[in-house]
């Protein structure tokens, strides 16, 4: 009887060993597989860092150009006659603008300050997923322009978060603006173009 039980139980024992072996193979395969923990593969990380660096380089350049031009305008042009650059088509004329870009919304200075700060926070958060160079340039222009005007809002008179922005570029039959406004507009236009082309900030292209 014991011999019969041994013979009958042999297939079950063999079958029990096979899943164990398969389980060992699965564990080994899992150990060699790339972990799916949300981290980028090693070859993707340098690409991502390059795009983030490009964003901040563009932002710093836009910010420094805007800040330098405003300092020069305040020191050399404010309180003086406008400078004719291209006849009657373009002149430099220093003014203080308490409103938004192009002199709009003068009664909402604090609101525009909060909006600019929110835009900066959103761009910085989005930078972590940035893999597209055109998007890096566009967001860098937006970031540099927003920082430029926000600096005026915080540090210029009449007070913190209520400061008037320095504008000086005065085309004929158009509102006076500055380099920060130009950077914001150019960045916005580029984002619209990229969106129409289906290019996302992470570098993927989608088709509607």
Q: Which positions are catalytic?
A: 167, 181
- Cβ atoms within 10 A of the Cβ of 97, count? 24
- Cβ atoms within 10 A of the Cβ of 175, count? 15
Helix axes 109-126, 133-155, angle to 10 degrees: 150
| Ramachandran assignment for 34, one of left (phi > 0), alpha (psi -120 to 50 degrees), beta (any other) | beta
- CA–CA distance, 97 with 102 (Å, rounded to integer): 8
User: Which are the contacts of 123, defined by CB distance < 8 A and separation ≥ 6?
Assistant: 55, 139, 142, 143, 146
Q: Which parts of the chain fold into alpha helices (H)?
A: 2-32, 45-76, 109-126, 133-155, 179-196
């Amino acid at each position: 009887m014991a011999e019969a039980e041994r013979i009958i139980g042999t297939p079950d024992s063999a079958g029990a060993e096979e899943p164990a072996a398969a389980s060992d193979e699965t564990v080994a395969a899992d150990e060699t597989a790339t972990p799916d923990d949300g981290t980028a593969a090693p070859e993707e990380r340098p690409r991502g860092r390059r795009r983030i660096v490009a964003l901040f380089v563009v932002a710093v350049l836009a910010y420094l150009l805007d800040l330098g031009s405003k300092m020069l305008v305040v020191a050399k042009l404010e309180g003086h006659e406008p400078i004719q650059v291209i006849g009657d088509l373009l002149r430099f004329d220093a003014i203080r603008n308490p409103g938004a870009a192009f002199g709009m919304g003068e009664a909402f200075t604090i609101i525009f300050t909060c909006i600019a700060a929110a835009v900066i926070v959103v761009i910085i958060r989005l930078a972590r997923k940035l893999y597209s160079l055109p998007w890096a340039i566009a967001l860098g222009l937006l970031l540099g322009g927003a920082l430029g005007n926000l600096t005026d809002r915080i540090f210029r008179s009449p007070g913190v978060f209520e400061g008037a922005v320095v504008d000086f570029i005065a085309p004929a039959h158009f509102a006076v603006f500055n380099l920060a406004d130009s950077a914001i507009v150019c960045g916005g236009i580029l984002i619209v173009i990229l969106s129409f082309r289906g290019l996302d900030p992470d570098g993927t292209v989608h088709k509607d």
